[in-house]
Chains A and B, each alone.
Chain A
Amino acid sequence: MKTRGIGGRRGLWILGGVLIVGTMIGPACSLSPRKEAEGPPIVGTTRGQSPPLSWTAKDIEAFLGEARVAVVEKDVESGRTMPWRVTLDDGRIKARALFKYINRPGVPPIRHSFRYELAAYSLSRLLELEIVPPVVEREIEGTAGALQWYVENCLSERDRERTRKEPPDLQAFLQRLDVIQVFEALVNDECGDKDDTLIHLDTWKICRIDFAGAFGPTRTIAPACSLQRCSRELFNRLNRLTREALADRLGNYLSLEEIKAIFERQQRIVEHLKALIKDKGEPAVLFAEKKP
């Protein structure tokens, strides 16, 4: 009797402890800001080559996967995952790529994985967005990782603001940033990350890099993601996106929980945009994206 009594009391203490911890951690997890981006972006680099204009994303993927590794520089990039800078050479083109190998998925609060880079690229392709530069899975010097096309001749959004460079087509530029922000919310990375938003200096095409810390298990949209507008194309694709399609395309890189979390965030984003449309009218929320 006594033993049972103590056991019951201990159980209550444990339950109480869980409640306290849950109370303390819960709000912090859902509200605290998160910055998972890497170090400074690669800005204004000129040593590599841009892909030939005729190259598609698939061509670049093939190059990344098959070209000979000519040079590996291990201590030249900065950032918390210290990626390697790799020079690839297929006999015709010599170009640089970035190799990330850190792999601690799902380990809070220091979750980082090269697999999240691969997942972000796959998701970007699934949604037919040209946001993430091509990245492939590859082994270099016996280390598995993600090898991503090195974006040359570009400027970060932060530096664009610092230098007050005005885009040639403001509307197209802002629309692209809106699309990127929806994608950031979907993959649960930092919204409006100016360091990892890169703008090509010649074409003003915008890409978003560094998702090594994305795909957190949070099922809500981060408060910092103040989604106000979205392209009609992306809105429709999000509407049609199924959990099966996500699992099919991302299953190699993400856990089931992480995929479920994307799906829930997707639903919340769609609900949020629908509410905005109801409130402000469709023209104020959805746009036909202009290509810069």
Chain B
Amino acid sequence: MPIGLRRLRRLEPALPLFHALCLSFILLLAASLFPPPLQPTTRGPVSLATDPPLPAPLPPAPHRLAAPPSAIEQSCVITGVRKIVAIGDLHGAYEPFVEILQGMGIIDHQLRWIAGTTHLVQTGDIMDRGTRARDILDLIRRLEVEASAAGGAVHMLLGNHEEMTILGLSFELKGYVTPEQFRDFLPPDRRDRKEREFRIKAGPTTDLNPLWEAYMDENSGARDAYTEYFNKNYAPWLASHPAVIKIDNIVFVHGGLSEALSVQPCSVINAGFSWEIRRVLRGEVFDYLWLYRTNGPLWYRDLATTPENTLREELDRILANLGAKAIVIGHTPTAEAISLVGASRLGGKIWTIDTGIWMKEDGRKSALVIENGRIRMTPGRIEDEGGQK
């Protein structure tokens, strides 16, 4: 063997280190050439005037390292839609959801899509508080296919409760994960085994919920199994869903968009969420730029809670940035929204559609209908349109 080749072979064990050093150097070079934009200091040292529109605080960094966004991530601007039906937070309320869909002529009694080219928007928060989130997710997953085949579409947006479930945080907040939801998202073998065990323990007629609740509270392994099952079977599908969409000139988002965020294209926001959820699912630990952020699109509340007079000018700037005439949000079930009368804010520029569909007593089954340029909030059944609860 030539001496040169022998020397090279002697260096072979160090090749991985050499590769890693090269890659590290390239990454460092890329990071220094394209530093992620920093969150702006939103208060100047002496300025007291209202800040001018800010550059986006949440940088589109994912684009630099992520794979190209999927088709769903790119298609967040949809045009030429004749009729849109939008439904707010569900929180496991499967029966009211079905009732609204049937009442609005979206599905028939066999739960099949019958709405043709209509676009159905669900603005997120299917998980937690209620009992049948899994049934809702399964129904939506099927309706997406059926609607698409009929020339319509189902747009399910991400809500903060989907995010919290993926991150395994819902358990920490008391009352969020009900025993029924916990049972539904356990791995089937574990669920069936525990069900048999509880049935033997409690007898044939006793309600098993207290036992499930105790099992959930006391067994961290079971909680981990729940999160793993959800993240294996539902989260990858959720990761392909947007946080923000615009249909014609109406923007839909779970929590809202701050002025700072409104300058970001929806494709960037959606790609950011999708990319970060996928990283979480791969078990990576990293600082979130999009997930779990108070002023991010899944958590923002100011559009629902800020007094109208205070918000007016800012909202006009937000809508101008978005190129939209109105924004539809869920997340914040204000008393005004629940009354339906106050669902529209600032002359119809904001529609708050979390009407507490999931609430046992105070909520309203409702939907927002946008047809021929006209926007109206209706009770979930057409025959109820006199304002009956």
Contacts and interface: CB of A to CB of B under 8 A. Distances in A.
| B is a partner of A | yes
Interface of A: 5, 8-9, 12-13, 15-17, 19-20, 22-25, 27-29, 31-40, 74-75, 78-82, 102, 104, 108-110, 143, 157-159, 161-164, 166-167, 170, 174, 177-178, 181, 190-192, 194-195, 223-226, 228-229
Contacts of A5: 13
Contacts of B285: 108-109
Contacts of B150: none
Contacts of B295: 35, 195
Contact of B16 (A13, A37, A74): A13
A224 B292 contact: no
Interface of B: 13-14, 16-17, 19-21, 23-24, 27-28, 31, 35-36, 38-43, 45-46, 48-51, 57-59, 61, 65, 167, 169, 172-175, 285-289, 292-295, 299, 301-302, 305-306, 310-311, 314, 332
A80 B161 CA distance: 10
A35 B297 CA distance: 13
A15 B17 contact: yes
Given A9-B13, A20-B24, A224-B40, A37 B294 contact: yes
8 contacts: A16-B19, A80-B294, A102-B173, A109-B286, A110-B167, A162-B50, A194-B43, A195-B294
B227 to A, nearest CB: 13
B41 A20 contact: no
B352 to A, nearest CB: 14
Contacts of B59: 33
Contacts of A191: 41
Given A5-B13, A80-B294, A194-B42, A39 B57 contact: no
Contact of B305 (A40, A79, A174): A40
A270 to B, nearest CB: 19
Given A17-B20, A37-B294, A80-B299, A229 B174 contact: no
Contacts of B20: 15-17, 19-20
Contact of A38 (B27, B48, B289, B294): B294
A228 B295 CA distance: 26
B34 to A, nearest CB: 11
Given A143-B174, A174-B45, 14 more contacts: A12-B14, A16-B20, A23-B24, A29-B287, A31-B36, A32-B289, A34-B39, A35-B57, A75-B175, A102-B172, A109-B286, A194-B42, A223-B38, A226-B45
Contact of B301 (A40, A170, A190, A224): A40
